[in-house]
A and B are shown apart, each in its own frame.
Chain A
Amino acid sequence: MTEFPHARRSAFQVLTGLFSLPPGARVGIGPVIAAAILVIIVLASVMAPLYVPYDPLAMNAMARLKPPSEEFLLGTDPYGRDTFSRVMTGGRVSLLIGVGAALVSVTVGLFIGLVAGFFRAADSVIMRIMDSLMAIPAILLAIALVALNGPSLGSVIIAITVPEIPRVVRLVRSVVLSAREEPYVEAAIALGSSMPKILIQHLMPNTLAPLIVQGTYICASAILIEAILSFLGAGVSTEIPTWGNIMAEGRTYFQIKPGLIFWPGLLLSLCILAINLLGDTARDLLDPRMKKREG
């Protein structure tokens, strides 16, 4: 039989295709710096256990509130724990929560959104549920979950994800609503394609680009909300250092040891700034008006 090498593109090709630069479009220096900063922070956080000099939880009564020195790079906190070790390790949980919340809300939101957009009967019911979910503030939900289950990573991710899901659902639904009116979707119906097939093969690829952009924003805001929750004491248990709870603990000593808030705060801000910048760049690149037709 005849070979059709390009008849199906792999998911990888689809993804690289999405990000291939259209001819003429230029990415400024900003996004490149942002990407570099993000890569450094992520690598540094992930590999933290390999290089940090102290156990981030090990208390040392002899070394309370030390200033930065060769021994303690960024000084120590009131319990004598090494700030540098804690901040670098804390990034792991913060980033995990960011990425986790983004993935969960995008996946769940994509599924619900596809169904809501395509099936009119389901739409009105689903959207009313989404409206009510939107009314729940993340912080109240987190406090409730922590009160019920105790502080855990899972509770925090759920608390952050739930209010994000309706936003993703609305986005996906609006894309599907306009795409389903396209004649090629009607042609697929006429060709006898089943509903799941139409949803996944014809409609879902249209939602991919806006979802990637939305995902980066969710990731950034999740990291921020985690910090707020920890600050309020409704976040991850204090035994696991995160940027949020390091700052929460540091606030009582803010005046004598500003570094306790400054360093985790700096990393947090850089991280969020970088992610948002990359999200904006992705939005510009994926905008069909900016993207020349491939081929």
Chain B
Amino acid sequence: MEFKSKDFSNAPRVLKIRKLKVGLTGRPNAAPVLDGIDLDIRAGETHCLVGESGSGKSVTSLAAMGLLPKGALEVQGGLIDLEGFEITSASPSQMRELRARRIAMIFQEPMTALNPVIRVGEQILEVLNTHSDLSPSEAKKLTLDMMEQVHLPDVERIYSAFPHQLSGGQRQRIMIAMALILDPDLLIADEPTTALDVTTQLQILKLIAEMQERHGTAVLFITHDMGVVAEIADTVSVMQKGRIVERAPIRELLTDPKEAYTRKLLTAVPNLAPRPARGDVAEKDVVTVQGLDMAYGGGGFFRKSDRVKAARDVNFSIPPGRTLGIVGESGSGKSTVARCIMRLIDPTAGKITVAGTEIARLSRRQLQPHRKHLQIVFQDPYRSLNPRWTVARSLCEGPINFGTSRDEAMTKAAELMELVDLPRDALDRYPHQFSGGQRQRIAIARAVAMKPDLLVADEAVSALDVSVQAQVLDLLDDIQEKFGVAMLFITHDLRVAAQICDDVLVMQKGFVVEHGPAGQVLSTPRHDYTRNLINAAPGRNWDFSNYRALDHAPAPKGAIA
């Protein structure tokens, strides 16, 4: 694949960070959050900071913006030099002057970064009014011009729209317009595409690259996604526990990583090559879904609202020990299908047969004995366990509901902890005492405690760091092998789907657009939408774990990039 390879050694240096140390306010002896960071960014360069959560990527960017949370974090040493201006000792008013003019930032979640009650055009205009003396008509003209530049359609209309009326991609474009309108020398982008769908992500990455070209801006890009790094970076700094452990030009880092930590990170990155196909199973399907329809809304006591069809005519079946992946962008209806099957919501039409029983029309009471056949693991490990309950109590809840004695359930819970590779004494602890990955293991153990026939994983690894993600995927694989459980794996990430699924079902706006074996769907997709998804997957041609390009890169013909 093509990497950026421009040489920046002659370009002027925009940001220079030396020996930066950031620690907890008032606790000089506590372990520092950032420990001796050195960083150089030159004009026109894209410098990526990668690392897992808690490695200090965002703190670095906040320190550069002079935005460290007061009373919590403080610079304890080192210097941050923005074109000759020392940021660590700048006064608040000097910093205000600096921001937007010389240094600007875009954030992960454009909905919360924009003010929901002010029209987006006026929010861009406000930046101009604060930092320049343009006349109102000139300012407005410049604003509209900037909105054109970030490729917003119909700028006059969008100018007077409120944030909630725009899509996620459009909101991020507004943020970019706002950040770049005063033509800063340095743009800090903190996970700007993480909350977006892959196809939107691709557009935003392209836009940032285009703006960078046009304005010669230096970009400090923070991300946890190696695929994104491969697409946009000139130079990469790998961070771990507040230090930069390795820095190299992108090609060098991906082909010849020096540090063990970098290797570990890269090895965990899933790629688009589908898992080896497993043999056919002779046994009967565990779950069969026929003609599943789900429409939201339409109820209401006083007025009828419009019905939104979230899933239409979904059909599939899963044999024991096999995994079906449902992939699609947000709003495609993939989670709706999962929730219908779990009967957390009631489908409007269709049949769901689990372990020989049709459950789509059962009442809550009738359904109760069948609940044990299906279990679910949710996306957010921080919210899927009751924070007031010990792990033991959470693990025992299900079995006790089905008549297991408390003692027996406890013994079983201890065994489960071993299965998911957690210490036995973890049973007495509360969820907040565990990391995200450990919590997800507990949630999996809780589901497995019921010995289900079908395990639904609803974006179960999406909130986890890549290395943890890889471990949890392995765990799910082990469990499947051990118990022969059928799995329904919901994900927005085609790369993860490629790693774990036997079959893949692609959904778009509630419709199933493609359904087939993973190898076939990922290498010879038939539908345009699938092709777009594959083409938008960042770093799709690179086999990160083997430090080389993918042999049979999935390069579908007739792709619309």
Contact status A184-B386, CB under 8 Å: yes
Contact status B344-A189, CB under 8 Å: yes
Contact status A187-B446, CB under 8 Å: yes
Q: How far is the CB of B395 from chain A (nearest CB, A)?
A: 10
In the assembled complex, the Cα of A195 lies from the Cα of B386 at a distance in Å of 16
Contact status A187-B371, CB under 8 Å: no
Contacts of A187 in B (CB 8 A): 376, 378, 384-385, 443, 446
Q: How large is the interface on B (under 10, 10 to 19, 20 to 34, 35 or more residues)?
A: 35 or more
Contact status A186-B378, CB under 8 Å: yes
Please provide the chain A residues from 1 to 52 with a CB less than 8 Å away from any CB of chain B in the complex: 1-2, 4-8
Contact status B301-A124, CB under 8 Å: yes
In chain A, what residue has the closest Cβ to B378? Answer: A183
Majority SS of interface residues in chain A? loop
In the assembled complex, the Cα of A48 lies from the Cα of B432 at a distance in Å of 49
Contact status B397-A191, CB under 8 Å: yes
Supposing A1-B407, A293-B432 touch, asked if A191 and B446 sit within 8 A by C-beta, the answer is yes
In the assembled complex, the Cα of A190 lies from the Cα of B373 at a distance in Å of 10
Q: How far is the CB of B228 from chain A (nearest CB, A)?
A: 27
Contact status B383-A182, CB under 8 Å: yes
In chain B, what residue has the closest Cβ to A184? Answer: B386
Cβ 8 A contact of B393, one of A5, A8, A194, A295: A8
Cβ 8 A contact of B427, one of A4, A189, A195, A205: A4
In chain A, what residue has the closest Cβ to B396? Answer: A7
Supposing A192-B402, A202-B386 touch, asked if A4 and B342 sit within 8 A by C-beta, the answer is no
A60 adjacent to chain B (CB < 8 Å): no
Please provide the chain B residues from 434 to 481 with a CB less than 8 Å away from any CB of chain A in the complex: 443, 446-447, 450
Q: How far is the CB of A53 from chain B (nearest CB, A)?
A: 51
Q: How far is the CB of B432 from chain A (nearest CB, A)?
A: 5
Contacts of B385 in A (CB 8 A): 184, 187
In the assembled complex, the Cα of A189 lies from the Cα of B301 at a distance in Å of 27
Contact status A186-B371, CB under 8 Å: no
In the assembled complex, the Cα of A8 lies from the Cα of B401 at a distance in Å of 17
Supposing A189-B344, A191-B450, A293-B432 touch, asked if A4 and B376 sit within 8 A by C-beta, the answer is no
Contacts of A293 in B (CB 8 A): 432
Contact status B401-A192, CB under 8 Å: yes
In chain B, what residue has the closest Cβ to A6? Answer: B428
In chain A, what residue has the closest Cβ to B458? Answer: A183
Contacts of B429 in A (CB 8 A): 295
Contact status A190-B410, CB under 8 Å: no
Cβ 8 A contact of B410, one of A2, A183, A195, A205: A2
Contact status A190-B374, CB under 8 Å: yes
A188 adjacent to chain B (CB < 8 Å): yes
Contacts of B388 in A (CB 8 A): 205
B167 adjacent to chain A (CB < 8 Å): no
Contact status A190-B376, CB under 8 Å: yes
In the assembled complex, the Cα of A182 lies from the Cα of B431 at a distance in Å of 15
A193 adjacent to chain B (CB < 8 Å): yes
B433 adjacent to chain A (CB < 8 Å): yes
Contact status A190-B397, CB under 8 Å: no
In the assembled complex, the Cα of A205 lies from the Cα of B379 at a distance in Å of 24
Contacts of A182 in B (CB 8 A): 383
Contacts of A205 in B (CB 8 A): 388
Q: How far is the CB of B537 from chain A (nearest CB, A)?
A: 27
Contact status A192-B371, CB under 8 Å: yes
Q: How far is the CB of A203 from chain B (nearest CB, A)?
A: 10
Contact status B393-A7, CB under 8 Å: yes
B398 adjacent to chain A (CB < 8 Å): yes
Contact status A188-B411, CB under 8 Å: no
In the assembled complex, the Cα of A191 lies from the Cα of B383 at a distance in Å of 16
B527 adjacent to chain A (CB < 8 Å): no
Contact status B368-A192, CB under 8 Å: yes
In the assembled complex, the Cα of A197 lies from the Cα of B397 at a distance in Å of 10
Contacts of A4 in B (CB 8 A): 390, 392, 410, 427-428
Contact status B384-A183, CB under 8 Å: yes
B264 adjacent to chain A (CB < 8 Å): no
Contact status B398-A183, CB under 8 Å: no
Q: How far is the CB of A292 from chain B (nearest CB, A)?
A: 10
In the assembled complex, the Cα of A4 lies from the Cα of B401 at a distance in Å of 19
Contact status B428-A183, CB under 8 Å: no
B430 adjacent to chain A (CB < 8 Å): yes
Contacts A4-B427, A192-B371 given; 4 further ones with Cβ under 8 A? A1-B410, A190-B375, A190-B447, A191-B397
Closest 3 CB pairs of A and B: A191-B398, A192-B371, A183-B384
Task: Give B contacts to A, CB under 8 Å.
Answer: 301, 342, 344, 364, 368-369, 371-372, 374-376, 378-380, 383-386, 388, 390, 392-393, 397-398, 401-402, 407, 410-411, 414, 424, 427-430, 432-433, 443, 446-447, 450
Q: Can you sample 20 A-B contacts with CB below 8 Å?
A: A2-B410, A2-B411, A2-B427, A4-B390, A5-B428, A6-B390, A6-B428, A7-B392, A184-B383, A186-B378, A187-B378, A187-B443, A188-B386, A190-B344, A190-B375, A191-B397, A192-B401, A193-B401, A194-B368, A205-B388
